[in-house]
Amino acid sequence: MPVLKDRAIKSAGGLTEFKRQSERYSDDLRYLESKKPDLVKTHDKEWVAIYNASLVDYNKSLPELIKALGKKGIPEEEALIQFISSENILTLYAR
Amino acid sequence: MKIVNCFPFTFGAQMEPAPAVQAYCYLIRLNTGFWVTFMVDTGAAGTCLHGVPAWRIQRQLRPETSENASGVGGSCLYYGERAILVFLDTDQNTVSRTLNRLDVQAITLRDIVANRGIPSIPSLLGRDILNRWKLTYDCPNSVMYLTSP
């Protein structure tokens, strides 16, 4: 389905932008994982937003966090938003 | 063959790291896309969006596509959307897979305000994609990747 793939990449702003976003998103994921032990202590049960490999905001409320990102001019759809929890989770799924 | 790297990730929770992969999720009808971190889950029949990615598009989903799905944690309502997932392989080439039905978790504002059921559930890359690829998983040696034919 090359046409659909082209449409997808175009929606990301083209191939160069697609790759740039991919790299930045990877950096954000690595940052989150490396900082998670600290984040669990300081932001347990909170939403955190990571952008350009830094913690840009946090809030107990997801809608409030999204609003705050908008005020800071950070594109919400590009930020890595994650709920931080000290609880153990188990995910299994069937359909 | 194209190789897409996976990585160990804990999704912000206290758990053993799970194999994860990042992909650009493009919703064809909505002409919109965003990056998602999927847990690679051979236990999931279908690929599904949970949490923030699902919430982003909640208002644009169609009630007539809703279906119940059940798992160990209980049952949940999902909407369906046709989607394409685009990955980057190790040579920086794009690899895509089309999903005739991507399950998107139904989330209410009440759920969001209460942080109920949403936060800790990762999006899942299920067997509708994994069964077409080869999955190599050697966690002790930090080797985890998907091979696309």
Per-residue pLDDT of chain B (149 residues; tens, 9 = 90+): 899 999 999 887 777 889 999 999 999 999 999 999 999 999 999 999 998 899 889 989 999 999 888 776 667 889 999 999 999 999 999 999 999 999 999 987 777 777 665 666 889 999 999 999 999 999 889 899 999 88
Of residues B7, B115, B124, nearest to A93 (C-beta): B124
* Low-confidence residues of chain A: pLDDT under 50: 91-95
* C-alpha span between B116 and A69 (Å, rounded): 22
Give me the pLDDT at residue B108, please.
Answer: 78
Count of pairs with CB atoms under 8 A, one residue in A, one in B:
147
Give me the pLDDT at residue A94, please.
Answer: 38
* C-alpha span between B62 and A21 (Å, rounded): 29
Give me the pLDDT at residue B115, please.
Answer: 66
Contact B78, B67 (CB under 8 A): yes
Interface test with A, best of B36, B48, B52, B92 (most A CBs within 10 A): B52
